[in-house]
Every structure is written in C-alpha cells, then in structure tokens.
Structure 1
Amino acid sequence: MLEYREQGFAVQLMEHLVVPTFVLDASGHVTIWNRACERLTGVRAAEVIGTKLHWSGFYESARPCLADLVLNGEDDLVDKLYLANRSETYQHGALSAENWCVLPQCGARRYLAIDAGPIYSPSGSLIAVVETLRDITSQKEAQTALETLASQDGLTGVANRRMFDQRLAAEWQHPAHLSLLMIDIDHFKPYNDALGHQRGDECLRRIADLIVSETRQECDLVARYGGEEFAVILPHADMQIALAVARRILAALKRAAIEHPCPSCPPLVSLSIGAACRSDRSVTPDALIAAADASLYRAKQLGRDRIIIGETEIAA
C-alpha cells in the first residue's frame, strides 16, 4: 500500500513539475505528459497518453525522440539526429542532447536542451524512460549572434580575416581543387581622401556586396582581408572556374560604374585581381596566399584594372 501511495505521489509530482516532462513505458507508449509539456508543445496529454505519438509534439514527421534512443539502446544515433550531443558527462544509459524542434502545434521553432534517462525496477529491468526538456532558444540565438560577430567584418558584413584563416585551413584538408582570389580596390586612398571616410565605407560595402553577388553562394567564401583588400576562397574550383568568377566580378563593377572623384585617377573605380590555384598538396595555405598576393602585386604594377595568374595577364 505504501509503495502504491509513493508511486501516486511521484506521478502527481511529475505532472506538476515546471520542467516539461514526459514518460515512456517499456513498450514505448506515453504514460505521463505533464502540464509543462502541454504548454511547451501545444499538445494535450489526452492526445498522446497511451500512444507512441510523442514525436508529434516536436517534429513534423515521425522520428525517434531522445527517450526512444534510451529505450532501444541506440546511443549511436544521437550524433546523427541531434545538433549537439552532451551525453558524455551522463551516467551509463542516460542521454543528453540539443536540437532545433519545430513544435507543429504551436507553429514555433525552439532550440531545446533534452535529457532522457532510464528507470529500473528493483530487479534491474527497464520499466520506463523519463525525458525532460528546456527551452534555451534565447541562449542559442545569443550564442549564434556572438559567433557571427566573431567571424564577420563589422563594416562590410562579409567574413573577417579570422574566419578566412579558419576556412582556408579547413578547405586545405580536402584533396579537391582549391583556388584563391586576392582583390584590391584601385586608387582607394585618393577616393577616401577626396570624399571622406563615410563615402569610403559606403564604397567598401558596395564592392563587398558586388563580389558576393558574383561568387557561388553555396560554397565560396568572401572575406575582407584588410583595408581595401578582399579575398575569395573558391573550393572545388580549378583555375578556369576561378578565372570565370574573377571576370564576372570585374564585369559587374564596370556595370556598377562607381565614379572616382580624383581627376588624376581613372574616371571609374576599378579592381585588381590576383589568382592562384593549389596544384600540389605539398604547397601550404600560406604559399597559396603568397602566390595570389604576388599575382595581385603584378596586376598593380601593370596598370591595375586586370586579372593576373602568376605572370600571365588574363584581362584588362
């Protein structure tokens, strides 16, 4: 009798917890779906108790929840199904993860911290699994914003030098073709001196947007390398692809027709572009940057407003 009362108290306690919680029995059916879980998901307990439809509170199509993975001993699926796996610090049999969930009934997208742990009988058999959830969307969004600030150039919105270095190092690990463009705005100092820093900043932003628009959105990285210099990492791109991108950038700038205010400079703002392609995996990332930089310097020497690959002038 005492054990029954204790069980009843435990169920009532779980029902009134402020933490969203649900419980599956050994067969995977929902036995508890507390009020906090109703408020989080918009799904009433009566809709899921006695069913295996607990997934419908969090996802638009059927897929395992963390409690299901505990129930079935499928720890190896956590990394596949969840954005973050925090299970390494938990006791054997319990799992912890984080994931974006769509919450179909509420029409909301929430980032949830999820914990699931087994409950065993005195004899050691699994009798239930408890899953608890915490809405940490605001923390995740704040973290994402900080990560963006850490990797983004504050003026132009493209990647900063730190992000450029990280991405180039990451791409270097893949054996595929890899090309690099170094791009410099010609005669930018007299432009800046004549019109002031605010107009100079506007020019930098406009050219950054222009470069981004002419690169492959799905894989290329445009970064502000420093001052008026930009860099474009072109994964899976041989020299022909790199050359095509560089030509598009020059053509787009000519269409933009940004007037240069200094009478001693050409009437329109132009770009010099140096290109390099990794042809040998023994070459280092620094060597690839140096090769593209040398081509850019050569473009400047030859009169600007052109593309140089090695010693070869491609376009003027």
Structure 2
Amino acid sequence: MPTFVINAERRVIIWNRACERLTGVPAHEVIGTSDHWRAFYDEQRHCLADLVLMGRPEAMDELYVTHAEPGDSTHGLRAENWCVMPQVKKRLYLAVDAGPIFDEDGALMAVVETLRDQTEQKLAQMALQSLAVKDGLTGLANRRSFDEKLEAEWLHNQREGTSMAVLLMDVDHFKLYNDTYGHQMGDTCLKSVAAAIDKQVFRPSDLAARYGGEEFAVIMPNTDLDGARHVADRLIEAVRELRLPHSASQTEDCVTISLGAAAFIPSDQRGSGDLVAAADAALYRAKHQGRNRVVCADRVAELVEA
C-alpha cells in the first residue's frame, strides 16, 4: 500500500515503493524534505499527515472533499480528495489515512500516511449519480429532477413573493420525423434540440429538462411572463437555426418547436402543478394555431395568443 512517514519536523523519513509508483516521485527526491505535497498537488498546501502533526483537524473542511469526524486524536484522521498528481499527469481520487506514532513518553514523534486509489470507484459513483438526475439520451435533467426542482422553487418563490415561470415545448411533427428518417436519426434530432435549448438557459438557477418523449421544459425561478417570453423567443430561434432537415414537416422544411409559457406568483390557492398545467395548455394552443410559435398564459391561466 502506498505509504509515507513524516517526522515531528514534518520531514519525510519513509517513502515506500508503492508510493513511488502511485505518485511517480522517487524516494530520493523527497526523503529529508518537507516537499511531499508536490507529489499530489500543483500548489503548496498541507497533506493530512501535516494536519495531524500540527493538531489542526478543523482544516480538513477546507482541504478535503470528504472526511471523517475527528475523534480521539490518538487515532489519527481519515479523508478523501481529488489530487492532481503532477508527476504522473493524471487526476486521482485518493482515500487517505494519517495515523500518529508516539514515543514511550506519549510524545508525538511521527505520522504515517497511507493512500488508496479510489478513482474508478469514485467515477462509477459519479456516473450513477448522473444517471439518477440526467436524461440518458440528451444529457439534460430528467423528469425526476424537473419535479424536484419545481417543488423546491415553488416553495422558495412563495416565501419570497416572487414570480416564477415554466416553459414547455414540443418538437413539431416528431412522429413524422421518425417515420421519415428512422428512430436513430430521431434520437440525434432530440440531442441536437436539447443542446440548443441548454445553450439558451444561461442562469444557474434555471433548469432545462427532458420532460418526456419529444417534450422539453425549462424552470425559471424569479421570472415574470415578459422574461419567460424573452427566453422562449430565443429557444424558438435557436432550434430554427439548427436547420435540421424535416421534409415531412407541415410547418417548415426544417425541425421547429412549439412552446407554451406560463408565469405567476405562487400562492396557497394554487400549486406548482397549476403552473405546469397553464404552460401545457399554452403549448396545446401553440400547436393548434399551426406550431412553430410561442403562446403565453396570463397570470390567471387564461390563454392569450403571443
């Protein structure tokens, strides 16, 4: 197991072969120095063993992604972190244990730091977490993420007394597109449309999602109907500008979308579902009027043509 030891002066006294292989740093370059940090980071900072020697477990909050709550100081510290590994030129996720060594009088004389490469496990965990919140085809947030975000922002905007908006949109004549070009091209079309939508959703607080099938949605906290309409117009134009051929379309000769927008201030009389329903009704009217357009619902959910 990759291991190194620093003495009470925080100088390296042991740097084993496994540590050499992991870091790409030979022992003769670090033995007797305090430069052990150079094996893991491209900027000077403390390693876990340093914190044990310095008696500074509280610094783990700033330096490590995750860590065990420090208990009895005689048992050392445990943490995990991404390390840039300058010599081997790759980023690794390392699990680290730092244990103190005491002399016969109980004085701290050295610290042993052991390292475990957890990169594959961490990447697998991140992939699973991504699958839980993202749509597998388009990379946008999935329906579950949309529903959770909608409820959270509804409650927040209700407390603040501010308006929030939802946009719902469909790819026009998508069944005809699939029938004409095949399902594989249909998937490619959805990915292209999703990317165009995502590029127009600028604010970190907003969320673009695949709502289902060929339908997409955007949640926009702290946004009134004018602001929602402005973004909706950008989305319509962004998809048009893709110029994806659609010879079977009854609207234009390229892929287009229809969009419904709704915005109002959350209240006890209405729930988040009412906001989505208003946007959905506006989307239905946009399609009924010929598609490739935006229709807005007003604050009492009565539809008005955009």
TM tier, smaller? 0.7 to 0.9
Residue from 26, 29, 40 that aligns with 2:8? 26
1:149 maps to what in 2? Answer: 131
Indicate if the aligned counterparts of 2:5 and 2:113 stay in contact, CA closer than 8 A.
yes
Which structure 2 residues correspond to residues 232-271 of structure 1 after superposition, within 5 A? 232-234=218-220, 237-262=223-248, 265-268=250-253, 269-271=255-257
Structure 2 counterpart of 1:267, which letter? E
What TM-score does the superposition give when structure 1 sets the normalisation length? 0.79
Once residues 239 and 81 of structure 1 are traced to their aligned partners in structure 2, the CA distance between those partners, rounded to angstroms, is 44
2:295 maps to what in 1? Answer: 308
Once residues 55 and 296 of structure 2 are traced to their aligned partners in structure 1, the CA distance between those partners, rounded to angstroms, is 56
| CA apart distance, 1:112 | 0.7
Indicate if the aligned counterparts of 1:260 and 1:266 stay in contact, CA closer than 8 A.
no
Residue from 92, 116, 128 that aligns with 2:72? 92
2:197 maps to what in 1? Answer: 211
2:261 maps to what in 1? Answer: 275
Once residues 27 and 155 of structure 2 are traced to their aligned partners in structure 1, the CA distance between those partners, rounded to angstroms, is 50
Alignment: residue pair count:
294
- Deviation readout 1:128-150 (Å, 9 max, x if unpaired): 22111011212222222333333
Once residues 278 and 31 of structure 1 are traced to their aligned partners in structure 2, the CA distance between those partners, rounded to angstroms, is 66
What TM-score does the superposition give when structure 2 sets the normalisation length? 0.82
| CA apart distance, 1:314 | 6.8
Change (3 A) 1:76 1:285: farther
Percent sequence identity over aligned pairs: 52
| CA apart distance, 1:236 | 5.8
Where structure 2 has 5 or more consecutive residues not aligned to the other structure, the ranges are none
Indicate if the aligned counterparts of 2:251 and 2:290 stay in contact, CA closer than 8 A.
no
Residue from 100, 114, 122 that aligns with 1:118? 100
2:216 maps to what in 1? Answer: 230
Change (3 A) 1:196 1:51: closer
CA RMSD across the alignment: 2.9
Change (3 A) 1:180 1:72: farther
Where structure 1 has 5 or more consecutive residues not aligned to the other structure, the ranges are 1-18
| CA apart distance, 1:51 | 2.5
Indicate if the aligned counterparts of 1:211 and 1:249 stay in contact, CA closer than 8 A.
yes
Moved more, 215-224 or 122-131: 215-224
Change (3 A) 1:184 1:130: same
Please give the secondary structure, in 2, of the residue aligned with 1:51.
Answer: coil
Which structure 2 residues correspond to residues 137-176 of structure 1 after superposition, within 5 A? 137-169=119-151
2:183 maps to what in 1? Answer: 197
| CA apart distance, 1:56 | 1.0
Change (3 A) 1:31 1:167: farther
Moved more, 101-110 or 280-289: 280-289
Indicate if the aligned counterparts of 1:67 and 1:117 stay in contact, CA closer than 8 A.
yes
